[in-house]
Amino acid sequence: MIVEIVNLNRSRKARAKTEADKQAEANRAKFGRTKAERDRDTAEQARRDALLDGAKRED
């Protein structure tokens, strides 16, 4: 019977790296947006603000 010798330090670090990669993937899905998406949202908000300011009534 041949048993594979396992370096516990190496396996612990590998497991931690795998968990960190999973967390990073979740964060990218939750928070990550491209610069183009941010710019598009900023332009859309500026357009909405301009439309709203143009519709204000003067007293």
The rounded average pLDDT for each run of 10 residues, N- to C-terminus, in the chain (59 residues) is 92 97 93 90 94 82
**Type and span of the H or E element at 42:** helix 35-54
Whether the CA torsion 44, 50, 56, 59 is positive or negative: it is positive
pTM of the model as a whole: 0.51
